[in-house]
Amino acid sequence: MYITLTAILINYLKLKKYSMNDKSSKFVFLFALLFFAVMGSPVTGFNYGQANAQGMSVSNSTSDSNSTSDFYSNKDLFVTTEPNGFGIYEEKNSTSYSPGESIILYIEPVGFEYNNITDENGAPLFSIDFGASFLITSSNGTILGGQENVPIGNIISHNQNKEVFIPFTVTQSVPFPTGDYGIIYEITDENSGKSFEITKNITIS
């Protein structure tokens, strides 16, 4: 399905003879890209690691975060590859991406709540559950597209895990046109209904 849809998009653009310098063409192109990013490579399921969390602080965050509650992002930064665990990542020292390069944001949420459940034997368990959405905007703030209710998954544990991270990947299934863009991420704690936003600016060059 994914390959077929990509082929349809490419043929459609050829038939319409769209120029990527045309604003309406960019909109159609990017909106399709967002669809493929979610269909072809959805947000990676969040994980919790067993790495030492010492040294993690808000001062290392590289974003504009907007939260009206005690549920917020303690750290969010671009990384070069998928993180291997909590605090185990290689930070990307630039917000510039090549056409086709995956955009991976490492997020450490704090202040989330737990849902109390039991296993088949009646033993108590704790469930952590997040929801996500994102928007991509032009450099002047025009919304080019986005996706709501992106599946992340949940964690069920015997402990109230604190060391939780979300690796949020946006895939350029078809390369973005060169230029400046904004990505607005929203993470929701499904157990409390609280959410926060993270705004990042990137350049495709």
Q: Give residue 173's pLDDT.
A: 83
190, amino acid identity: E
| Secondary structure class of 164 (helix, strand, coil) | strand
First to last CA, the chain: 29
Element housing 96 (H / E): strand 96-97
The model's pTM is 0.70
**Segments of the chain scoring below 70 in pLDDT:** 1-69
CATH number at residue 165: 2.70.50
Structure tokens at 108: 């450490």
177: domain range?
2-204
Q: Give residue 146's pLDDT.
A: 87
Report how many domains make up the chain: 1
Burial of 148 (0-12, 13-18, 19+ CB in 10 A): exposed
Q: Give residue 203's pLDDT.
A: 98
Q: Give residue 153's pLDDT.
A: 82
Closest CA to 45 of 166, 156, 185: 166
- Looking at residue 46, the DSSP 8-state letter turns out to be P
Contact of 73 with 108, CB cutoff 8 Å: yes
